Every structure is written in C-alpha cells, then in structure tokens.
Amino acid sequence: MKLYDECRDCLYNSQLKKVEAMHGDDERVQAFKEAVRALCDGAPQSSCAPLLMRAIDGVHRAIFGGVIDYSAEKESFNTALLNLEEDIYARMSDAADPVMEGIKYAMAANYIDYARISDFGDDSIAEVMSAAQRSDVDDGIYSLFTQKLKRAYTLVYLHDNCGEIVLDKLLIRAIKAAYPRIKVISVVRGGAIINDVTRADAKSVGLDKLAYVIDSGAAIPGTYLPETNALTRAFIANADVVISKGLGNLETLYGNLGGAFYMFMCKCNHIAENFGKELWQTAFVCD
C-alpha cells in the first residue's frame, strides 16, 4: 500500500465539497475542514486512500454525529442503472462473448466514484455507456480468466460502488449463464462509507438473488485484510476465482492476493502510470 499526494488532495477536496453542501453555513464545517486538512497532511505514506477516507469519515462522525451521507446519490445511480438493466443485458447477450462484454460494462461503471469525483452531471450514465464501448479486454488476461472459470466451483466478487453494482450484477449473471456450476459470493462493505455498497444496497438491486452476499466487517472503502472479518478472509482464501472491483479494493489488495483479477477505471494519474494506461481508461489485470 502507498498513499500518494494526489490522493490526499483529491479526498480533501471531494469530501469538503460534499460536507459544505450537506451542512451549509454550519460553523462546524470550519472545524471539519481544519481537522481533515491536518489528517491528510499528516497521514503516513505507508497508508492508502481507503484508510484515509475511513479516517475522514471518522472526523465527520466525531464533529457532526453521523457519516458523510451519500444515500441519495447511491439511490439515484442504482435506480438509473436498474432502469437500463435489461437493455444492457440484451446487448451483452447479443455480443459474440457475453462474459467479455459484461467485463467491459463492469469496468466502465467504476467511473461512479464520489471519492474521486465530487459531483456528477446528467451525462454520467451516458459516460459509463460510452466508456464500455471504448473498453478493451486484454486477450491474455481474459484467456487466463476463462481457463479458471472452466475449472471453478466458487467465485468471490469484491464489490465497490453503488450504481456500479448493477453492472457487476449483470456480469455475474453472464458468468453464471456460461458456467452454471459456479457459486458466487459477493462481498460488500461492513458499513456505510461514501457511495460504496452495503448489504442493504445489494439487496435493493437484487444482487442477493444471484449471489450469496456477505459484508467485509469493516466500513472501509476497500478490502483491508487486517480488518476484514474471518468469514470474508476464508471465502477469499478458498475461492477458485477472485474478482476485485474498483480502486479501493485494488489499493488495499494488489500484491497480496496471488491470482486475483482486478477490474477498474484509471481515474487517478498514479494508477494510470502504474498500469501503463491513459487517464480514464479501463483496465483488467491479474495479480
């Protein structure tokens, strides 16, 4: 793990903008601003963005008595993508390889990230659809992925954000159609944190009808194994295939899970540089 200066500034700016919108002229906003600035400046380089975000949310809890509330944003994106669910799945089914097409949509949906982008316009869903059409899936990684799926009985899917989870659900649907013996275990966050998926969110989009849903036991926007519950660690350790979605899971897990597959969008300069991609390009890599 590593905490980049880009992450410190990004999280400070995005969360301050959100908190100012939530609380307006409340005099406590200044106290929040000062505490978070000190937190971002003082966080060790050995940390990472998901742990810093958890700490920022902790400051908000201490000052305002509750989480930084993204419930409206989560519901908005989930609803918008649920309305498109069957149309998107039909496109996937018409493709030469529905699983590969599903990966493109799932990667593109990682665009929906309130830790990186403080506000989204009316064109956000259109941007996700456009990014899916632009996405490329590395042939070598995909070949390895399908080889593992052919032998697999269990797949652990580590989820990331709301909205995005609807397209994760469609990828799971495509995988189960192609490889019906596979049991999918979906891992969501252990509590509310930014726009990340919780058990309630997973149920609201019907994910529980396709997968066995568990939570990680930690309200961290990533899968930080030292604080992940024993059930999640056991499922990950024994899975035939692990899919890790999004940057939070990437930043907490990459290098620690041999053979895991990571699907994400390069929303940060250091991520793009580390994986040899352009900014806002999607990526499908294996650890």
Q: What's the CATH code of the domain at 270?
A: 3.40.50.10880
Range(s) of the domain holding residue 27: 5-64
Q: Is the pTM of this model over 0.85?
A: yes
- The answer for residues whose C-beta is within 8 angstroms of residue 229's C-beta and 6 or more apart is 190, 215, 216, 217, 218
* Type of residue at 270: H
The pLDDT value recorded for residue 113 is 72
Residues 23 and 118 reside in one and the same domain: no
Residues 96 and 182 reside in one and the same domain: yes
Tens digits of per-residue pLDDT, 132-174? 999 999 999 999 999 999 999 999 999 999 999 999 999 999 9
Tens digits of per-residue pLDDT, 46-66? 999 999 999 999 999 999 999
Token pair, residue 152, equals 């697999």
- Start-to-end CA distance of the chain, whole Å, equals 14
Taking 70 as the pLDDT cut, the residues of the chain under it are 1, 114-122
Residues 44 and 154 reside in one and the same domain: no
* Type of residue at 265: M
69 in any annotated domain: no
75 in any annotated domain: no
